[in-house]
Amino acid sequence: MSDSLLNFALPPLPSDLPLPPLPEIKDQELRQQVFTHSSYYAVPRRATSLDVEGGDKLLDNEKLEHVGDGLLGAVVTVLLHDLFPNLKHGPATMLKAHLVRDATLAQLSRRYEFPSFLRAGKAATYNLISGEKTVANLFEAYIAGLYYSYLQPRTLSSTVPRTRIPTPPRTPQKTGPATTESESITSKSSPSTPPPTTHTHITHGQAMDQLEEWLIPLFTPLAHWVLQEMRKEQARLDLLVASKNDDSHLDDDAIGAMARLNEHFTVKQGGKPEYCAKRAAGDMWYVMVIAIMKDGTQRTAEATRNTKKLASTVAAWKICQELGI
Protein backbone atom coordinates (compact mmCIF):
# COMPACT_ATOMS: atom_id res chain seq x y z
CA MET A 1 0.00 0.00 0.00
CA SER A 2 1.19 3.51 -0.75
CA ASP A 3 0.08 4.88 2.62
CA SER A 4 2.68 2.94 4.64
CA LEU A 5 5.72 4.04 6.62
CA LEU A 6 7.69 1.41 4.69
CA ASN A 7 7.40 3.61 1.61
CA PHE A 8 8.44 6.81 3.37
CA ALA A 9 11.25 8.75 1.68
CA LEU A 10 13.27 11.21 3.74
CA PRO A 11 13.46 14.86 2.71
CA PRO A 12 16.95 16.28 2.05
CA LEU A 13 19.18 16.45 5.11
CA PRO A 14 18.89 19.72 7.05
CA SER A 15 21.45 22.32 6.05
CA ASP A 16 22.37 22.99 9.69
CA LEU A 17 23.27 19.35 10.42
CA PRO A 18 26.51 19.38 12.48
CA LEU A 19 29.44 18.13 10.42
CA PRO A 20 32.40 17.01 12.57
CA PRO A 21 35.90 17.61 11.18
CA LEU A 22 37.01 14.86 8.81
CA PRO A 23 39.83 12.69 10.23
CA GLU A 24 42.79 12.37 7.90
CA ILE A 25 43.99 9.15 6.29
CA LYS A 26 47.72 9.63 6.66
CA ASP A 27 48.79 6.75 4.42
CA GLN A 28 48.71 8.31 0.95
CA GLU A 29 48.55 4.98 -0.88
CA LEU A 30 45.54 3.93 1.17
CA ARG A 31 43.89 7.32 0.71
CA GLN A 32 44.39 7.09 -3.05
CA GLN A 33 42.73 3.68 -3.13
CA VAL A 34 39.72 5.07 -1.22
CA PHE A 35 38.97 7.50 -4.04
CA THR A 36 39.80 5.21 -6.98
CA HIS A 37 36.89 3.79 -8.99
CA SER A 38 37.32 0.52 -10.87
CA SER A 39 36.95 2.36 -14.19
CA TYR A 40 40.24 4.16 -13.54
CA TYR A 41 42.31 1.04 -14.25
CA ALA A 42 39.68 -0.71 -16.40
CA VAL A 43 41.06 -4.13 -15.50
CA PRO A 44 39.18 -6.92 -17.34
CA ARG A 45 36.95 -8.92 -15.03
CA ARG A 46 36.49 -12.67 -15.09
CA ALA A 47 33.25 -13.94 -13.64
CA THR A 48 34.83 -17.31 -12.84
CA SER A 49 37.81 -15.87 -10.94
CA LEU A 50 37.52 -15.50 -7.17
CA ASP A 51 40.82 -13.73 -6.55
CA VAL A 52 42.99 -11.07 -8.12
CA GLU A 53 45.23 -12.83 -10.61
CA GLY A 54 48.91 -12.48 -11.43
CA GLY A 55 50.07 -11.49 -7.98
CA ASP A 56 48.49 -8.05 -8.31
CA LYS A 57 46.70 -6.37 -5.45
CA LEU A 58 43.39 -4.57 -5.34
CA LEU A 59 43.85 -0.94 -6.39
CA ASP A 60 40.28 0.36 -6.51
CA ASN A 61 37.86 1.06 -3.65
CA GLU A 62 35.30 -1.72 -4.15
CA LYS A 63 36.63 -3.93 -1.36
CA LEU A 64 37.08 -0.94 0.96
CA GLU A 65 33.48 0.07 0.30
CA HIS A 66 32.39 -3.46 1.23
CA VAL A 67 34.29 -3.32 4.54
CA GLY A 68 33.16 0.23 5.27
CA ASP A 69 29.54 -0.80 4.80
CA GLY A 70 29.93 -3.43 7.52
CA LEU A 71 31.76 -1.10 9.89
CA LEU A 72 29.16 1.64 9.49
CA GLY A 73 26.31 -0.82 9.97
CA ALA A 74 27.78 -2.04 13.26
CA VAL A 75 28.38 1.48 14.57
CA VAL A 76 24.89 2.70 13.66
CA THR A 77 23.13 -0.39 15.05
CA VAL A 78 24.77 -0.05 18.46
CA LEU A 79 24.34 3.73 18.45
CA LEU A 80 20.58 3.46 17.87
CA HIS A 81 20.22 0.93 20.69
CA ASP A 82 22.08 3.31 23.01
CA LEU A 83 20.09 6.36 21.94
CA PHE A 84 16.63 4.74 21.78
CA PRO A 85 16.61 1.60 24.00
CA ASN A 86 12.79 1.43 23.97
CA LEU A 87 12.43 1.65 20.19
CA LYS A 88 10.89 -1.54 18.79
CA HIS A 89 12.89 -3.81 16.50
CA GLY A 90 10.90 -2.95 13.36
CA PRO A 91 11.15 0.85 13.64
CA ALA A 92 14.81 0.53 14.71
CA THR A 93 15.55 -1.47 11.57
CA MET A 94 13.73 1.11 9.48
CA LEU A 95 15.62 3.95 11.17
CA LYS A 96 18.97 2.28 10.51
CA ALA A 97 18.03 1.73 6.86
CA HIS A 98 17.35 5.46 6.45
CA LEU A 99 20.71 6.33 8.01
CA VAL A 100 22.88 4.02 5.89
CA ARG A 101 21.04 4.09 2.57
CA ASP A 102 22.77 5.53 -0.50
CA ALA A 103 20.65 8.69 -0.55
CA THR A 104 21.81 9.66 2.95
CA LEU A 105 25.46 8.68 2.54
CA ALA A 106 25.71 10.45 -0.81
CA GLN A 107 24.61 13.71 0.81
CA LEU A 108 27.19 13.30 3.58
CA SER A 109 29.83 12.46 0.99
CA ARG A 110 29.09 15.65 -0.94
CA ARG A 111 29.25 17.76 2.20
CA TYR A 112 32.74 16.41 2.82
CA GLU A 113 33.51 17.09 -0.88
CA PHE A 114 34.52 13.49 -1.53
CA PRO A 115 33.43 13.52 -5.22
CA SER A 116 36.09 16.13 -5.99
CA PHE A 117 38.77 13.52 -5.18
CA LEU A 118 37.29 10.73 -7.31
CA ARG A 119 39.72 8.98 -9.67
CA ALA A 120 37.77 7.33 -12.48
CA GLY A 121 37.87 6.78 -16.21
CA LYS A 122 37.44 10.05 -18.08
CA ALA A 123 34.37 8.85 -19.94
CA ALA A 124 32.68 7.70 -16.73
CA THR A 125 33.52 10.47 -14.27
CA TYR A 126 30.60 12.80 -14.96
CA ASN A 127 27.92 10.12 -14.68
CA LEU A 128 29.54 8.63 -11.58
CA ILE A 129 29.63 11.85 -9.57
CA SER A 130 26.14 12.81 -10.75
CA GLY A 131 24.53 9.71 -9.28
CA GLU A 132 24.11 8.43 -5.73
CA LYS A 133 25.69 4.98 -5.71
CA THR A 134 29.32 5.85 -6.43
CA VAL A 135 29.25 8.98 -4.28
CA ALA A 136 27.80 6.98 -1.36
CA ASN A 137 30.45 4.30 -1.92
CA LEU A 138 33.15 6.92 -1.42
CA PHE A 139 31.83 7.57 2.08
CA GLU A 140 31.89 3.88 3.00
CA ALA A 141 35.33 3.40 1.44
CA TYR A 142 36.66 6.32 3.47
CA ILE A 143 35.40 4.68 6.67
CA ALA A 144 37.34 1.51 5.85
CA GLY A 145 40.42 3.47 4.77
CA LEU A 146 40.40 5.38 8.03
CA TYR A 147 39.95 2.17 10.01
CA TYR A 148 42.92 0.47 8.36
CA SER A 149 45.07 3.58 8.71
CA TYR A 150 44.50 3.39 12.46
CA LEU A 151 45.69 -0.23 12.45
CA GLN A 152 49.01 0.56 10.81
CA PRO A 153 52.09 0.40 13.08
CA ARG A 154 53.19 3.75 14.45
CA THR A 155 56.72 4.83 15.22
CA LEU A 156 57.29 6.45 18.58
CA SER A 157 60.55 8.15 19.61
CA SER A 158 61.36 8.61 23.28
CA THR A 159 62.02 12.28 23.98
CA VAL A 160 62.01 12.05 27.76
CA PRO A 161 65.62 12.37 29.10
CA ARG A 162 66.76 9.61 31.36
CA THR A 163 67.63 10.50 34.94
CA ARG A 164 71.12 9.41 35.90
CA ILE A 165 72.06 8.76 39.51
CA PRO A 166 75.67 9.79 40.27
CA THR A 167 77.92 6.98 41.43
CA PRO A 168 80.94 7.26 43.71
CA PRO A 169 84.17 8.06 41.87
CA ARG A 170 86.37 5.18 40.93
CA THR A 171 89.83 4.74 42.32
CA PRO A 172 92.21 6.27 39.78
CA GLN A 173 93.99 3.68 37.66
CA LYS A 174 97.73 3.70 37.35
CA THR A 175 97.68 3.39 33.59
CA GLY A 176 96.05 5.82 31.17
CA PRO A 177 94.96 9.40 31.64
CA ALA A 178 92.76 10.20 34.57
CA THR A 179 89.07 10.77 33.91
CA THR A 180 86.96 12.94 36.16
CA GLU A 181 83.45 12.04 37.24
CA SER A 182 81.89 14.88 35.27
CA GLU A 183 83.74 13.85 32.13
CA SER A 184 82.58 10.27 32.58
CA ILE A 185 78.93 11.26 32.97
CA THR A 186 79.16 13.67 30.05
CA SER A 187 80.59 11.02 27.76
CA LYS A 188 77.90 8.50 28.74
CA SER A 189 75.05 10.94 28.19
CA SER A 190 76.34 12.32 24.91
CA PRO A 191 73.62 14.08 22.90
CA SER A 192 74.86 12.27 19.81
CA THR A 193 73.23 9.07 21.07
CA PRO A 194 69.84 8.75 19.30
CA PRO A 195 66.78 8.22 21.48
CA PRO A 196 65.29 4.73 21.43
CA THR A 197 62.63 4.11 18.79
CA THR A 198 59.66 1.78 19.29
CA HIS A 199 56.79 0.58 17.12
CA THR A 200 53.31 0.30 18.58
CA HIS A 201 50.29 -1.58 17.27
CA ILE A 202 46.68 -0.95 18.24
CA THR A 203 43.96 -3.57 18.31
CA HIS A 204 40.91 -3.72 16.06
CA GLY A 205 38.82 -2.62 19.02
CA GLN A 206 41.00 0.43 19.58
CA ALA A 207 40.77 1.28 15.88
CA MET A 208 36.99 1.02 16.17
CA ASP A 209 37.04 3.37 19.15
CA GLN A 210 38.95 5.96 17.13
CA LEU A 211 36.58 5.53 14.18
CA GLU A 212 33.59 6.15 16.46
CA GLU A 213 35.11 9.45 17.59
CA TRP A 214 34.13 10.72 14.14
CA LEU A 215 31.02 8.67 13.32
CA ILE A 216 29.15 8.99 16.64
CA PRO A 217 29.07 12.83 16.63
CA LEU A 218 28.08 12.72 12.96
CA PHE A 219 25.23 10.20 13.18
CA THR A 220 23.79 11.09 16.61
CA PRO A 221 22.01 14.31 15.55
CA LEU A 222 21.18 12.69 12.23
CA ALA A 223 19.47 9.77 14.01
CA HIS A 224 17.36 12.14 16.12
CA TRP A 225 16.31 14.06 13.01
CA VAL A 226 15.38 10.93 11.03
CA LEU A 227 13.33 9.51 13.91
CA GLN A 228 11.51 12.82 14.24
CA GLU A 229 10.67 12.71 10.52
CA MET A 230 9.43 9.13 10.89
CA ARG A 231 7.17 10.11 13.79
CA LYS A 232 5.74 13.00 11.79
CA GLU A 233 5.00 10.69 8.87
CA GLN A 234 3.42 8.12 11.18
CA ALA A 235 1.13 10.76 12.66
CA ARG A 236 0.11 11.83 9.15
CA LEU A 237 -0.67 8.24 8.17
CA ASP A 238 -2.70 7.65 11.33
CA LEU A 239 -4.84 10.69 10.54
CA LEU A 240 -5.27 9.44 6.99
CA VAL A 241 -6.46 6.03 8.14
CA ALA A 242 -8.76 7.56 10.75
CA SER A 243 -10.39 9.73 8.10
CA LYS A 244 -11.11 6.64 5.98
CA ASN A 245 -12.64 4.69 8.87
CA ASP A 246 -16.17 6.08 8.98
CA ASP A 247 -17.42 2.86 10.60
CA SER A 248 -15.62 3.16 13.94
CA HIS A 249 -19.02 3.28 15.64
CA LEU A 250 -19.46 -0.41 14.77
CA ASP A 251 -16.79 -1.67 17.15
CA ASP A 252 -19.10 -2.22 20.12
CA ASP A 253 -21.88 -3.75 18.00
CA ALA A 254 -19.42 -6.17 16.38
CA ILE A 255 -18.37 -7.90 19.61
CA GLY A 256 -18.74 -11.68 19.13
CA ALA A 257 -19.53 -11.40 15.41
CA MET A 258 -16.56 -13.48 14.25
CA ALA A 259 -17.62 -16.45 16.42
CA ARG A 260 -21.23 -16.19 15.18
CA LEU A 261 -20.18 -16.08 11.54
CA ASN A 262 -17.78 -19.01 11.89
CA GLU A 263 -20.40 -21.12 13.68
CA HIS A 264 -23.05 -20.31 11.06
CA PHE A 265 -20.83 -21.40 8.17
CA THR A 266 -19.58 -24.51 9.95
CA VAL A 267 -23.11 -25.72 10.74
CA LYS A 268 -25.16 -24.49 7.77
CA GLN A 269 -22.79 -23.82 4.90
CA GLY A 270 -20.28 -26.65 5.33
CA GLY A 271 -17.15 -24.53 5.52
CA LYS A 272 -15.48 -21.56 7.17
CA PRO A 273 -15.00 -17.95 6.09
CA GLU A 274 -11.53 -16.92 4.92
CA TYR A 275 -9.85 -14.02 6.70
CA CYS A 276 -7.22 -12.22 4.57
CA ALA A 277 -5.16 -9.86 6.72
CA LYS A 278 -2.30 -7.52 5.88
CA ARG A 279 -0.58 -4.52 7.36
CA ALA A 280 -2.05 -1.14 6.58
CA ALA A 281 -0.55 2.26 7.37
CA GLY A 282 1.60 2.31 10.46
CA ASP A 283 0.37 -0.15 13.10
CA MET A 284 -3.02 -0.68 11.48
CA TRP A 285 -4.42 -3.95 10.12
CA TYR A 286 -6.59 -4.40 7.04
CA VAL A 287 -8.78 -7.54 6.93
CA MET A 288 -11.04 -8.81 4.16
CA VAL A 289 -13.46 -11.64 4.99
CA ILE A 290 -14.53 -13.91 2.12
CA ALA A 291 -17.50 -16.18 2.85
CA ILE A 292 -18.65 -18.67 0.16
CA MET A 293 -22.18 -20.01 0.49
CA LYS A 294 -23.38 -23.55 -0.37
CA ASP A 295 -24.92 -22.29 -3.61
CA GLY A 296 -21.55 -20.80 -4.69
CA THR A 297 -22.41 -17.19 -4.05
CA GLN A 298 -19.77 -15.12 -2.26
CA ARG A 299 -20.05 -12.49 0.43
CA THR A 300 -17.14 -10.15 1.23
CA ALA A 301 -16.57 -7.39 3.75
CA GLU A 302 -13.52 -5.46 4.92
CA ALA A 303 -12.38 -3.37 7.87
CA THR A 304 -9.24 -1.58 9.07
CA ARG A 305 -8.40 -1.39 12.76
CA ASN A 306 -5.35 -1.17 15.03
CA THR A 307 -5.46 -4.94 15.71
CA LYS A 308 -6.02 -7.84 13.36
CA LYS A 309 -8.64 -9.38 15.65
CA LEU A 310 -10.74 -6.22 15.84
CA ALA A 311 -10.57 -5.71 12.07
CA SER A 312 -11.64 -9.34 11.54
CA THR A 313 -14.51 -8.94 14.01
CA VAL A 314 -15.89 -5.81 12.34
CA ALA A 315 -15.60 -7.34 8.86
CA ALA A 316 -17.37 -10.50 10.10
CA TRP A 317 -20.13 -8.36 11.64
CA LYS A 318 -20.80 -6.73 8.28
CA ILE A 319 -21.40 -10.14 6.68
CA CYS A 320 -23.55 -11.19 9.62
CA GLN A 321 -25.71 -8.15 8.98
CA GLU A 322 -26.10 -9.09 5.32
CA LEU A 323 -27.12 -12.64 6.22
CA GLY A 324 -29.32 -11.64 9.13
CA ILE A 325 -27.33 -13.68 11.63
Candidate list 16, 65, 82, 140, residue with the active-site label = 140
Residues 121 and 40: beta-carbon distance below 8 Å: yes
Closest CA to 303 of 252, 251, 261, 237: 251
Catalytic residue among 60, 65, 69, 233: 69
Are 44 and 137 contacting, i.e. CB atoms less than 8 angstroms apart? no
d(CA 79, CA 217): 10
140 is a catalytic site residue? yes
How far is it, in rounded angstroms, from Cα 243 to Cα 253?
Answer: 20
Distance from C-alpha of 219 to C-alpha of 101, rounded to nearest angstrom: 13
For residue 69, indicate whether it is catalytic: yes
CA distance to 49, 135, 211, 285, per residue, from 238 (Å): 52, 36, 39, 12
CA distances (Å), origin 205, targets 146, 147, 194: 14, 10, 33
Separation between Cα atoms, residue 57 and residue 53, nearest integer Å:
8
Within 10 A of 117 (CB to CB), how many other CB atoms are there? 14
Q: Which residues are catalytic?
A: 69, 140
